[in-house]
């Protein structure tokens, strides 16, 4: 029965997107990869198709072009069963503090685009009466920090959006899953020094997303469970102390 | 700056490291840097994949772009690991035309080193099976290369040690296999002559290779176990191991060497004891064909992660030479004589027959190749210089993918295609711009 199921992966050129799409294709799903850079997405599509024998298509999408969302969805070969959005841009916090265009781009890429797009799919899924939505948010959205609060604030908004959407869709039996990967070794974090215990590989994130969406019951997952207590501690530090920490 | 070394962990050099995420990101890197060479998975033993200033790591160019099961033709990016290719393709019934002694190499590295396998006497080097490739050039351009398009560049790039540019993609043909099993037969050779004879006698086999006991002396000098093998057919698997799966999974559990062994762990006595045990165990199996999984047959050492650490922190050298058939007997005898008398401990010594080779810097030539590992020490270098003289005198040469120390004179004596290769490098603007520690050391 899986043979007829379709995944739409938004962010098809990212390492997490590639790994997630591969997991679904290995399980026999048809895959639609959406990305801004079609040629780069084509590399992943070819690779996944050869490895798994699944059908993989590529669809151009820029999450900043919100006006194109409706025609993008209408243009898909079929309405997917599951949509996973892994879009994210860490950006440059310091630059964003004075460069409003950059700050705006970070807010829109990490919040506005992904939220509105998943929202559009939610309406169609409600109408059809089935569908699963997965949003990759971030632990950075759990509490704003001086070093990345533009990114963090956008992810916090996305987390809140997913939470609200879940609340609204649950009575209809539709699932909305929030994924907080923690640190991941990817193109986005290349060159950063990351603590190994807290740092997942992209493949790990892909497997976790597939497991959470297709077999699990959790609504909000941390890819590495160690992040749950870590974020609980970070969340419980009183603001008068937190504001003086250099984070 | 990062300190880089090859698999032998000698020598070590600092280099900047670039890690492009896509083939399209490579040309701008090349155009804007100098003293650059590309590096796959770092399994060349010496200094071949360390840039003079900048090292461009291709590991993220790891996509399979197309595969046609009707022809076995596959198009892959250069940073794809052979191990990954095997995992995907063996269960589909396809095997690479040539594999080296480790699967932890990239396709680009296999082309740049024109790697050979246990079937070189029959099937040639890896480069013989590459139909076409795309190459990022020193000037920032990209060239499609094959025998019919940019043929000179194509031939020079095969075995060219990355010195013509960076390989981005390659198209090659895989061979169909019925099963993932190898039908192996072991032949015992009590001395060098018997070993050479056995290798000649097994030249009909697709795969044949000899493990040679480098510590055996006197009448036993060159005693060997010869392993001949074929990809097993369904019928052979049914006969030798009824009920076995055609494509059994590789065992994933890996041993690994957890720390650098101290220098005294490998000595003449411990290795001699190992060799004795290994020789006797192998001799017991002689005569009868038996089935072995492709993974341990082709890649016995890959089962031990980080095995390079058994040679300790100072690292080790791999010495691999080839000598032409006409002078092979006497030359190999004097090489083995020198090695066994000095008593340098070498676990891994391999003797193999090679078919004709080609390509400007490609290693293989018709004859016999001997490969052995030696831990780095002060006294090993003079010994290897002595071995070099024997090799050069016999008209042979050393494998650049293994080399960390040969002299420019030894190198020039062995590679007659060098002047043409240098001309081509000048013509494409690679001289001085695309350069590794190896090319600087040898004046390529």
pLDDT digits (tens, 9 = 90+) for A63-106: 999 999 999 999 999 999 999 999 999 999 999 999 999 999 99
3-class state of residue B350 by DSSP: strand
- Lowest-confidence segment of A178-192, B124-138, B302-316 by average pLDDT: B302-316
Crossing angle for the helix pair A38-52 and A15-26, nearest 10 degrees? 30
**Cβ atoms of residues B101 and A84 within 8 Å:** no
* pLDDT at B258 > cutoff 90: no
Mean pLDDT calculated for residue range A8-37: 97
CA–CA distance from B69 to each of A210, B77, B89, B131 (Å)?
A: 29, 18, 10, 16
Task: Look up tokens 């055609």; give the residue.
Answer: B246
Check A46 against B21: CB less than 8 A apart: no
Residue with tokens 């396998």: B117
Chain B CB contacts of A186 under 8 Å are none
B88 interfaces chain A, CB cutoff of 8 Å: yes
Q: Which residue in A40, A51, A187 is closest to B64 by CB distance?
A: A51
What is the overall mean pLDDT for chain B? 92
Q: How many Å separate Cα B300 from the centre of its chain? A: 14
Task: Give chain B positions within 8 Å (CB) of A51.
Answer: 64, 88
Mean pLDDT across B171-200: 95
pLDDT digits (tens, 9 = 90+) for A173-186: 999 999 999 889 88
Indicate the pLDDT class of residue B305, thresholds 50, 70 and 90: confident
Q: What is the ipTM of this complex?
A: 0.91
Q: Are A46 and B88 inside 8 Å of each other by CB? A: no
Residue A1 pLDDT more than 60?
no
B65 and chain A: CB distance < 8 Å anywhere? Answer: yes
Q: Would you place residue B276 in the very low, low, confident or very high pLDDT band (cuts 50, 70, 90)?
A: confident
Contact A43 B77 (CB under 8 A): yes
Look at A47 and B65 and tell me if their CB atoms are within 8 Å.
Answer: yes
- Smallest CA–CA distance, residue B91 to chain A, in Å, is 11
| pLDDT of residue B371 exceeding 60 | yes
* B219-236 mean pLDDT: 93
- How many C-beta neighbours within 10 Å does residue A218 have? 12
A46 contact residues in B (CB cutoff 8 A): 63-66
Length of chain B in terms of residues written: 444
Whether B64 and A40 lie within 8 Å, measured CB to CB: no
- DSSP assignment, residue B41? S
In sequence order, what are the residues at sequence separation of 6 or more whose Cβ sits closer than 8 angstroms to the Cβ of residue B298?
A: B99, B101, B103, B117, B118
Residues 6 or more apart in contact with residue B249 via CB below 8 angstroms? none
Find chain B residues with C-beta within 8 A of A39's C-beta: 24
Structural domains of chain A ordered from first start:
2-242 (3.40.50.720)
Instruction: Give the closest-approach CA distance of B169 to chain A in angstroms.
Output: 12
Judged against a pLDDT cut of 60, whether residue A150 lies above it is answered with: yes
CA dist B167 and B49 (Å) reads 13
Pairing, β A82-85 against β A183-185:
unpaired
Chain A residues closer than 8 Å to B66 by CB: 46, 50
CA B25, B29, B31, B36 dihedral sign is negative
Q: Which of B122, B86, B267 is nearest to B206 (CA)?
A: B122
* Three-state DSSP class for residue B93: coil
Beta pairing, strands A6-10 & B207-212: unpaired
| Strand-by-strand arrangement of the A56-60 sheet | A56-60, A30-35, A6-10, A82-85, A132-136, A175-180, A220-222
Q: How confident is the model at residue B213 (pLDDT cuts 50, 70, 90)?
A: confident
B-interface mutation test, from A12, A36, A51, A192, most B Cβ less than 10 A away? A51
- SS3 of A49, please? helix
State how far Cα A246 lies from the chain centre.
27
Contact A47 B64 (CB under 8 A): yes
Instruction: Provide the strand spans (E) within A11-115.
Output: 30-35, 56-60, 82-85
- Residue B285's pLDDT band, with cuts at 50, 70 and 90, is confident
B15-24 average pLDDT score: 95
Judge whether residue A32 has pLDDT over 60: yes
Handedness of CA A23, A26, A32, A37 (dihedral sign): positive
Average pLDDT over residues B386-391: 97
Mutating which of B29, B60, B62, B63 best tests the A interface, going by the most A Cβ atoms within 10 A? Answer: B63
- pLDDT tens for each residue of B33-43: 999 999 999 99
pLDDT attached to residue B256: 62
* Buried b / exposed e along B29-43 (16+ C-beta atoms within 10 A): bbeebebbbbbbbbb
Mean pLDDT of A154-183: 97
The alpha carbon dihedral of B158, B162, B164, B165 has a sign of: positive
Is there a cis peptide before residue A151, judged by omega within 30 degrees of 0? no
Contact A206, A52 (CB under 8 A): no
Percent of chain B with pLDDT strictly greater than 90: 77
**Residue A3, pLDDT score:** 53
Return the CATH fold of B181-407: Alpha-Beta Plaits (3.30.70)
pLDDT tens digits for range A108-124:
999 999 999 999 999 99
Contacts of A188 in chain B (CB under 8 A): none
Nearest to B440 by CA among B34, B109, B20, B59: B34
- What is the mean predicted confidence (pLDDT) over B412-420? 96
Is the predicted pLDDT of residue A36 greater than 70, yes or no? yes
In angstroms, what separates the C-alpha of B260 from chain A's closest C-alpha?
22
The confidence score (pLDDT) of residue B347 equals 61
pLDDT at residue B357, rounded to an integer: 87
Mean pLDDT of B122-126: 96
Nearest CA in chain A to B60: A187
Which residue shows structure tokens 């209408």? A74
Enter the DSSP assignment of A109: I
Residue count (chain A): 247
What is the percentage of chain B residues whose pLDDT exceeds 70? 95
Distance (Å) from the alpha carbon of B64 to chain A's nearest alpha carbon: 5
Mean pLDDT value of segment B237-241: 92
Question: In chain B, which among 102-161 make CB contacts under 8 A with chain A?
Answer: none
């Amino acid at each position: 029965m899986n043979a007829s199921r379709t995944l739409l992966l938004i962010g098809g050129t990212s390492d997490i997107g590639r790994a997630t799409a591969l997991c679904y294709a290995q399980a026999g799903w048809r895959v639609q990869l959406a990305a801004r850079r079609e040629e780069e997405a084509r590399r992943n599509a070819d690779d996944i198709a050869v490895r798994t024998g699944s059908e993989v298509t590529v669809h151009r999408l820029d999450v900043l072009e919100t006006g194109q969302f409706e025609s993008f969805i209408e243009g898909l070969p079929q309405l997917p069963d599951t949509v996973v959005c892994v879009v994210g841009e860490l950006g440059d916090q310091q630059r964003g503090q004075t460069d409003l265009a950059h700050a705006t781009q970070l807010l829109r890429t990490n919040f506005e685009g992904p939220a509105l797009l998943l929202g559009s799919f939610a309406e169609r899924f409600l109408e059809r009466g089935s569908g699963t939505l997965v949003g990759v948010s971030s632990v950075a959205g759990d509490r704003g920090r001086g070093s990345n609060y533009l990114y963090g604030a956008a992810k916090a908004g996305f987390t809140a959006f997913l939470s609200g959407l879940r609340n609204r869709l649950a009575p209809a039996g539709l699932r909305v899953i929030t994924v907080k990967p923690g640190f991941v070794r990817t193109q986005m974090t290349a060159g950063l020094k990351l603590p190994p215990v807290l740092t997942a590989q992209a493949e790990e994130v892909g497997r976790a997303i597939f497991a959470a969406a297709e077999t699990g019951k959790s609504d909000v997952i941390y890819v590495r469970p160690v992040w749950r207590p870590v974020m609980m501690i970070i969340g419980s530090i009183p603001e008068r102390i937190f504001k003086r920490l250099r984070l | 700056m990062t300190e880089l070394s090859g698999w032998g962990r000698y020598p070590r050099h600092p280099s900047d490291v670039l890690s492009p995420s896509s083939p399209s990101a490579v040309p701008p890197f090349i155009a804007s840097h100098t003293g650059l060479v590309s590096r796959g998975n770092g399994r060349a033993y010496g200094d071949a994949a360390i840039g003079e200033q900048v090292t461009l790591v291709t590991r993220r160019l790891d996509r399979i772009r197309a595969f046609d099961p009707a022809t076995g033709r596959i198009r892959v990016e250069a940073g794809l690991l052979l191990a990954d290719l095997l995992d995907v393709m063996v269960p589909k019934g396809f095997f690479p035309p040539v594999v080296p002694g480790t699967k932890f190499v990239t396709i680009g590295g296999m082309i740049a080193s024109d790697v050979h396998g246990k079937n070189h006497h029959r099937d040639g080097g890896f480069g013989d099976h590459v139909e076409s490739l795309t190459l990022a050039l020193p000037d920032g351009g990209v060239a499609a290369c094959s025998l019919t398009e940019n043929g000179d560049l194509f031939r020079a790039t095969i075995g060219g040690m990355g010195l013509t540019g960076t390989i981005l993609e390659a198209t090659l043909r895989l061979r169909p296999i019925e099963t993932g099993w190898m039908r192996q037969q072991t032949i015992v050779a009590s001395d060098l002559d018997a070993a050479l004879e056995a290798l000649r006698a097994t030249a009909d086999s697709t795969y044949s290779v000899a493990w040679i006991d480098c510590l055996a002396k006197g009448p036993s000098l060159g005693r060997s176990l010869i392993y001949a093998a074929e990809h097993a057919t369904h019928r052979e698997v049914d006969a030798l191991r009824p009920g076995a799966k055609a494509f059994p999974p590789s065992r994933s559990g890996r041993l690994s060497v957890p720390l650098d062994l101290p220098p005294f762990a490998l000595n003449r006595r411990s290795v001699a004891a190992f060799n004795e045990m290994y020789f006797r165990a192998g001799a017991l199996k002689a005569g009868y064909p038996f089935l072995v999984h492709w993974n341990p047959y082709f890649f016995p050492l890959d089962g031990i992660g980080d095995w390079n650490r058994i040679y300790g922190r100072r690292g080790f050298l791999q010495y691999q030479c080839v000598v032409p058939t006409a002078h092979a007997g006497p030359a190999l005898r004097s090489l083995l004589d020198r090695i066994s008398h000095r008593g340098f401990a070498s676990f891994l010594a391999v003797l193999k027959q090679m078919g004709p080779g080609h390509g400007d810097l490609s290693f293989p030539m018709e004859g016999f190749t001997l490969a052995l590992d030696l831990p780095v020490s002060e006294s090993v270098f003079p010994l290897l210089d002595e071995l070099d003289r024997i090799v050069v005198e016999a008209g042979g040469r050393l494998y650049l993918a293994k080399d960390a120390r040969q002299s420019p004179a030894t190198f020039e004596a062995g590679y007659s295609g060098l002047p043409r290769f240098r001309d081509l490098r000048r013509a494409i603007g690679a001289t001085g711009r695309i350069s590794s520690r190896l090319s600087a050391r040898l004046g390529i």
